[in-house]
């Protein structure tokens, strides 16, 4: 089955620790994205990548970092510099940045205490 996998589904961390969220896709898509979702708000773009070894900041990149060493993988690191890291994180992919449809993974719920 083709799709996007995110692991783990739930993640708990202590304040001050960095944590990395996994995102893998087997759709052969060039573009990948990370969004953050908070209650009562729409999705906000953190980072996106158009191609391997290239990525761009989205609207709320501060306190986050990414890498794109392989086409199928786009991990997100939530650093200790992120002031409010507790949220639901969604990864998505599309054939390209100009593609009409983005496909979403099931999400990872991160709780930092």
Partner 1 sequence: AQSVTQLDSHVSVSEGTPVLLRCNYSSSYSPSLFWYVQHPNKGLQLLLKYTSAATLVKGINGFEAEFKKSETSFHLTKPSAHMSDAAEYFCVVRSPNFGNEKLTFGTGTRLTIIP
Structure tokens at 112: 């930092």
| Smallest distance, partner 1 to C-beta of residue 42, A | 3
Q: How far is the CB of 67 from partner 1 (least distance, A)?
A: 20
- Residue 92 beta carbon to partner 1: minimum distance, rounded to whole angstroms: 8
Footprint of partner 1 (CB under 8 A): 4, 6, 9, 40-45, 48, 58, 88, 90, 92, 96-98, 100-107, 109
Instruction: For partner 1, give the closer residue by CB, 52 or 79.
Output: 52
CB-wise, 4 or 112, nearer to partner 1?
Answer: 4
Instruction: Show the beta-strand stretches assigned E in 26-107.
Output: 31-37, 44-51, 54-57, 64-66, 76-78, 87-94, 103-104
By beta-carbon proximity to partner 1, the closer residue of 91 and 112 is 91
Residue 37 burial (C-beta neighbours within 10 Å; 0-12, 13-18, 19+): middle
In the complex, the smallest distance separating the C-beta of residue 97 from partner 1, rounded to whole angstroms, is: 6
Q: Residue holding tokens 């209650």?
A: 39
Our CB check for partner 1 shows the closer of 71 and 109 to be 109
Core vs surface per residue 40-72: b (16+ CB within 10 A) or e = eeebebbbbbeeeeebeebeebeebbbebeebb
């Amino acid at each position: 089955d083709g799709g996007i996998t995110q692991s783990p589904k739930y993640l708990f961390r202590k304040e001050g620790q960095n944590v990395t969220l996994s995102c893998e896709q087997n759709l052969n898509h060039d573009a990948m994205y990370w969004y953050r979702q908070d209650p009562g708000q729409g999705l906000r773009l953190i980072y996106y990548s158009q191609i391997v070894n290239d990525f761009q900041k989205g609207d709320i990149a501060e306190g986050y970092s990414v890498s794109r060493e392989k086409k199928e993988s786009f991990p997100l690191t939530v650093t200790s510099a992120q002031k409010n890291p507790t949220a639901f994180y969604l990864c998505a992919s599309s054939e390209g940045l100009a593609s009409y449809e983005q496909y979403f993974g099931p999400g990872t719920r991160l709780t930092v205490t």
